[in-house]
Amino acid sequence: MSETRELPLVEAIQEAYRLEMERDQSVIMVGQDIAGGIFPHTKGLVEQFGTDRIVDTPLAEIGMYGTAFGAAMEGYRPIVDFMFAGFFLNAASPILAQTAQFRFIHGSQMSLPMVITGACGAGMRLGNEHAMLVHNMIAQVPGIKVCMPSTPYDAKGLMLAAIRDPNPVAFIWHLGTMMDRGPVPEGDYEVPLGVAEVKREGSDVTLVANGFQYKNAVAVADKLAGDISVEIVDPRSISPLDIDTILRSLEKTNRLVIVDESWDSRSTASQIAAEVVDVGFDLLDAPVKRVCIPDIPLPGGHMEPYVAPNPDAIEAAVRDVCR
């Protein structure tokens, strides 16, 4: 790890690709129109690595995913890019049924080192299918790790960790963070999977948030500073989930609000709340609040700003538990 510059998150992801593809010849990328590039994370890669390693496929998510899935069994380390993460649903069966169980059900003989990636998130007014937050759909199933970066630093470090992990890892990134700039060291470093980070210390309430919502959490913490002292925990990975870091924070604050840009129902927010009311029951001085997308398909039009979690909703929840 050497120099640190400011980079947009999407370039931090690309830097991880380049670093690891240079270092490890078995790393390949598979996707649709990744050579030309849909989002800038793949721009220019084909010039450096050629079409044997930057593999464009026909418009067919099962075949596309299969290129990666089968190659992983043959010793490659594929990164498979679904463009918009919601399109993973076209390959839900091989991902959620086959990939997730593959190692375990076959006696833990094989490992499948793969990264499954795609962009999503409210804010571009494209409607439910393009915005669709899929992290919790994948995290429901054991056998695939899931992470979502909040900062360019984490994006590069998590991506490096994801590519090197011997397991399938879903790396989901939020379109609303794509152009966020932040410090990114030039060299090699990993942000470990399965480890949350206290991104801001505080004493009155623990606020859990990641991805685009991390920015909203910071805005709310800034606004409330002086009044309410907010500790922000970024889970970074949501599966496996680092509940211990959250519990440690709760020991200090005894109050918990979880922001999860996802339908509320069976979300990471609900999972955290459930685990806390089991193993952390005595730590709680107030109800645990979840700030999520209400259980409606995410509308496009002009409705995202108030349907998706937003600073007002987060502030209200924080004030509520700190009454």
Partner 1 sequence: MALGKKQMALLYHNLVRADHFDKMMMNRIMQGKLLGFYHPGDGAMAAGVGASTFLGENDILNPHHRAHGMGYHVGRGTDIGRYLAEHTGKVDGCCGGRSSFHWSFPEQKVYGASGFIGWHFCPVVGWGWASKQKGEQMVLMASGDGSYGQGAAHEAMLFAMNWKLPIVFFCENNGMAIHSTAADMHPMPDISSLAQGYGMPAVVVDGQDVFAVAETVIAARKHALAGKGPTFVEAKTLRLREHDVGTPDLARAEPREAKYLEALKQRDPVVLATRRVLDEKVLTQKQIDQIYQEAKEEVARVEQFADDSPVAQPSIEELQAGVYA
Ligand X SMILES: Cc1ncc(C[n+]2csc(CCOP(=O)(O)OP(=O)(O)O)c2C)c(N)n1
Residues that bind its own copies (CB under 8 A): 86, 89-90, 92-93, 96-97, 100-101, 104-105, 127-129, 132, 136-137, 139-143, 239, 241, 263, 265-271, 273-279, 281, 284, 286-290, 295-297, 299
- DSSP symbols for 280-315: TGGG-SS--EEEEE-SS----TT-HHHHS--HHHHH
Tell me: does residue 153 bind ligand X (CB under 6 A). no
Tell me: does residue 59 bind ligand X (CB under 6 A). yes
* Beta-bridge partners for 182: 7
Q: Collect all residues with Cβ–Cβ distance below 8 Å to 265 and sequence separation of at least 6.
A: 295
Is the Cβ–Cβ distance between 8 and 179 less than 8 Å? yes
Is the Cβ–Cβ distance between 2 and 185 less than 8 Å? yes
| Site map (CB under 6 A) of ligand X, residues 69-88, x = contact | --------------x---x-
Q: Which is nearer to its own copies, 25 or 265 (CB)?
A: 265
| Site map (CB under 8 A) of partner 1, residues 145-174, x = contact | x--------------------xx-------
Q: Which is nearer to partner 1, 287 or 306 (CB)?
A: 306
Residue 120: which region, alpha, beta or left (left: phi > 0; alpha: psi -120 to 50)? beta
Q: Which is nearer to ligand X, 87 or 102 (CB)?
A: 87
Q: What is each CA distance from 103 to 22, 113, 274, in whole angstroms?
A: 28, 11, 28
The token duo for 174 is 């939020």
By a kind-dependent CB cut-off of 5 to 8 A, residue 137 interacts, out of ligand X, partner 1, its own copies, none, with its own copies
**Catalytic annotation present for 130:** yes
By a kind-dependent CB cut-off of 5 to 8 A, residue 37 interacts, out of partner 1, its own copies, ligand X, none, with partner 1
CB of 60 to its own copies, least distance (A): 12
Q: Which is nearer to partner 1, 218 or 313 (CB)?
A: 313
Task: Tell me which of 18, 40, 92, 129 binds partner 1, using CB under 8 A.
Answer: 129
Q: What is each CA distance from 320 to 190, 286, 308, in whole angstroms?
A: 37, 9, 19
Tell me: does residue 90 bind ligand X (CB under 6 A). yes
Q: Collect all residues with Cβ–Cβ distance below 8 Å to 250 and sequence separation of at least 6.
A: 206, 256, 276, 280, 283, 284
Interactions with partner 1, residue window 2-41 (CB under 8 A):
32-33, 35-38
How far is it, in rounded angstroms, from Cα 21 to Cα 75? 14
DSSP, collapsed to helix, strand or coil, labels residue 234 as: strand
CB of 32 to ligand X, least distance (A): 5
Tell me: does residue 57 bind ligand X (CB under 6 A). no
CB of 132 to ligand X, least distance (A): 12
Of these residues, 130, 135, 174, 302, which one is catalytic?
A: 130
Residue 44 exposure: Cα atoms within 13 Å on the Cβ side = 7
How far is it, in rounded angstroms, from Cα 190 to Cα 26? 19
- The one segment of 62-70, 170-178, 218-226, 281-289 that binds partner 1 by CB under 8 A: 62-70
Tell me: does residue 302 bind partner 1 (CB under 8 A). yes
Q: Collect all residues with Cβ–Cβ distance below 8 Å to 293 and sequence separation of at least 6.
A: 122, 133, 261, 262, 263, 264, 307, 308, 309
Question: Strand order in 114-120's β-sheet?
Answer: 54-56, 27-31, 77-84, 114-120, 168-174, 145-147, 237-239
Tell me: does residue 32 bind ligand X (CB under 6 A). yes
| Site map (CB under 8 A) of partner 1, residues 74-113, x = contact | xxx-x-----x-xx-xxx-xx--xx---xxxxxxxxxx--
Q: Which is nearer to its own copies, 21 or 116 (CB)?
A: 116
By a kind-dependent CB cut-off of 5 to 8 A, residue 259 interacts, out of ligand X, its own copies, partner 1, none, with none
How far is it, in rounded angstroms, from Cα 158 to Cα 59? 28
Catalytic positions, please? Answer: 130
